Amino acid sequence: MISIVVPTYNEKDNVRSVAEIIKQTLCGHDYELIFVDDSTDETPLILEQLSEADEAVRYLHRDRERGLATAVARGFEISRGDVVTVMDADLQHPPAMIVTMYETLKQADADFVIPSRFVCGGDDGGLNIYRKMVSFVARYVGKLLLPVSLRKISDPTGGFFMFRREVIHEIELKPVGWKILIEVLVRGTPTKVVEVPYRFQPRNAGQSKMSTKEQINYVRHLLKLLKDSPSDRRLYLFCLIGFSGVIVNMILYSILVRVGFGVPLSGCISAAFAMASNFALNDRVTWADVKGKRLIERAIKYVLTSVAGIGISTGTLTLLYYDAHVHYLDSNLIGISVATVWNFIVNNIWTWRR
Ligand code: GDD
Ligand code: MN
């Protein structure tokens, strides 16, 4: 059976059409249509009528809770199918794709199918230029969190996908905000993911509920995933070691200055020493499990990455200070943060490449 989980928030002018079109499209298939509703309008009344009229339709109304992703996760819990699909209620995701996804799942012997707006034949038709940019950044940042084998997924932040129930077997989902797909990809156990092109449609009725708040929630969600995933305790270790480097640097620097090496030379020696100690610690601790390449190669890559990192922090700081008139200390702090993220990512995927 295919379970189709549809989150709804004030979609009174859409839910009837969705139920009707799905009924036509999936005629002959064994399916259930589950609405998980947080609405404050008359949507739940209509869902009640729909579920009475058609036994394939079920719904759950949440009074006190809100949130797209938690609604969908709740839908997974009450669903019964061996195959699960998620789609929006506004017909931006063409229901006919459900059949295509299902066929692909079987033919490709896959356990995950994602309709993509960004492969050949796909189209992101519904987005304005601002949403296009936000979506671009969200996709690329999101991809970095995926295991390397899943990084080629072109549309990891959409709200339309299908998977076999095994993928979330005994997995506890703890999403924040909207991006349930990334949650399932990261916490679940997909083994073969296939993408098929689709054209994102204009909204049937009503308005998008996307907001800046949800974009901030996405960052919170990513940080939570980072914190929870064992392989990415690395980021913490990396920051911790980076911090230890600052202390090493300061101690050595003050000794050298007192001994009489002069400020510039002392600064240079202690920075080089801190870099070497950071490298050694990261090599033994943060990426202890990822060896394989020669030590000298890792060291060279580490130094190159760090040098580029200095360029990035200096560049960011200069831009912020001169163009955006940010306070000089804040500018430096933001520059350092950006460079830390850069250093971490490049070291993770290049220096200590698995
Ligand atoms: N239960 C529940 N609770 N549902 C919600 C909530 C909520 O708090 N907020 C939104 N929804 C439902 C909407 O009713 C709709 O069915 C679906 O989630 C998507 O909301 P839209 O407001 O239509 O979002 P969008 O079109 O701007 O963005 C969608 O498409 C993008 C591209 O695929 C979302 O699916 C995005 O996640 C996706 O990136
Ligand atoms: Mn929509």
Contact (CB, 8 A) for 109 and 33: no
Query: Is the predicted pLDDT of residue 132 greater than 70, yes or no?
Result: yes
Over residues 173-184, mean pLDDT? 94
The confidence score (pLDDT) of residue 232 equals 65
The CA 330 to ligand 2 mean position distance, Å, reads 38
Which residue would you say has higher pLDDT here, 144 or 59? Answer: 59
Which residue would you say has higher pLDDT here, 174 or 149? Answer: 174
The confidence score (pLDDT) of residue 16 equals 97
CB of 156 closer than 6 A to ligand 1? no
pLDDT band at 19 (very low <50, low <70, confident <90, very high): very high
pLDDT band at 130 (very low <50, low <70, confident <90, very high): confident
Query: Is the predicted pLDDT of residue 231 greater than 70, yes or no?
Result: no
Which residue would you say has higher pLDDT here, 264 or 291? Answer: 264
- Cα 145 from Cα 185, distance rounded (Å): 10
CB of 159 closer than 6 A to ligand 1? yes
- Cα 115 from Cα 160, distance rounded (Å): 7
The confidence score (pLDDT) of residue 99 equals 97
Rounded to 5°, angle at Cα 218 from 154 and 38: 105
Query: Is the predicted pLDDT of residue 127 greater than 80, yes or no?
Result: no
Query: Is the predicted pLDDT of residue 34 greater than 90, yes or no?
Result: yes
The pocket of ion ligand 2, defined by CB under 5 A, consists of: 88, 90, 92
Query: Is the predicted pLDDT of residue 165 greater than 80, yes or no?
Result: yes
Choosing from 210, 213, 215, 221 the residue with most ligand 1 atoms within 8 A of its CB, the one to mutate for a pocket test is 210
Query: Is the predicted pLDDT of residue 45 greater than 80, yes or no?
Result: yes
Over residues 248-269, mean pLDDT? 91
Quick one: which atom of ligand 1 is closest to the CA of 89?
A: 16
pLDDT band at 339 (very low <50, low <70, confident <90, very high): confident
Over residues 262-280, mean pLDDT? 90
Cα 113 to the center of its chain, rounded Å: 17
The single residue listed with the structure tokens 């996760």 is: 73
Query: What is the dihedral sign for C-alpha 240, 294, 270, 305?
Result: negative
| Alpha helices, H only, the chain | 15-25, 43-53, 68-78, 96-107, 129-145, 180-187, 212-228, 233-259, 263-281, 295-322, 328-346
The CA 165 to ligand 2 mean position distance, Å, reads 25
Contact (CB, 8 A) for 182 and 225: yes
Query: What is the dihedral sign for C-alpha 280, 281, 283, 288?
Result: positive
Query: Is the predicted pLDDT of residue 43 greater than 90, yes or no?
Result: yes
Contact (CB, 8 A) for 58 and 80: no
Query: Is the predicted pLDDT of residue 47 greater than 70, yes or no?
Result: yes
